[in-house]
Amino acid sequence: MQGDFLIGEPRGVIGVDEAGKGDYFGPLVIAACFSDKDIEGQLLASGLKESKRVSDSRAFALEKIVKRLAPHEVVVIGPEKYNELHSKIKNLNKLLAWGHSRALENLLVRVNPGEVISDQFGSKNLIENALLARGRRVKLTQMTKAESITAVAAASILARAEFLRRLAALGEHFGVILPKGAGSIVDEAGRKFVAARGAGELKRAAKLHFRNSGRVIGGSAH
């Protein structure tokens, strides 16, 4: 991408979205993606859709297009780091805000948007305060169904594809299949994981504060 997105008046928007928030196994991934009129037209022409509406294979194909067309940043918080942060922060929305602000801070070095748009997940002051702590001030809008905004849809594709890639890599590393979500199939996979690797290794593959932990290793969840 050309590096002229900081020149002149603010233009375009940054969309922010995450993947892995509701998945017991795997990382939390936050992506930020810049779009202006030109980029938006190209993204829409490529068939871009919000990540939950496309297959895994299509998400990977769209990821390549988004990365080629739009300035972006992806922040991955692996399970071990996630568990460390959650034990300190004690609040998922604050952890999300921390991740969002990291992705935004990295991308704002390269672009000068008129607005940042994210899905509604908590007080937007959480992100604004995190950015201000790093000396950045930006107009932030949180909205329901934010994925209807092209930049957010693009960010959702980036986050989803990276989450799927990291989840598969974790499964290969541990020699077990790690399913998405947090349902009964995940519980069964967790019990197999503990039987094969031990409960102490679970922190390297799963988000321990989920209720699944109690069902997987017995007792109450972490």
The class that CATH gives domain 13-171 is alpha beta
Smallest Cα–Cα separation from 75: which of 27, 130, 121, 29? 29
Q: By three-state DSSP, how is residue 15 classified?
A: strand
In order along its 222 residues, the chain shows pLDDT tens digits of 445 676 667 789 999 999 999 999 999 999 999 999 999 999 999 888 777 788 999 999 999 999 999 999 999 999 999 999 999 988 888 888 888 888 988 898 889 888 899 887 766 777 777 677 666 677 888 887 878 899 999 999 999 999 999 999 999 999 999 999 999 999 999 999 999 999 999 999 999 999 999 999 873 333
Report, in angstroms and rounded to the nearest whole number, the Rg of the chain calculated over CA atoms. 18
- At CB < 8 A and 24+ separation, what contacts does 63-67 make? 63/157, 63/158, 63/161, 63/162, 66/33, 66/154, 66/157, 66/158, 67/158
Map residue 82 onto helix, strand or coil. helix
Residues whose CB falls within 8 Å of the CB of residue 214, separated by 6 or more in sequence, listed in order:
220, 221
Domain ranges of the chain: 13-171
pLDDT of residue 207: 97
Looking at residue 160, its pLDDT comes to 96
| Per-residue confidence (pLDDT) for residue 98, from 0 to 100 | 85
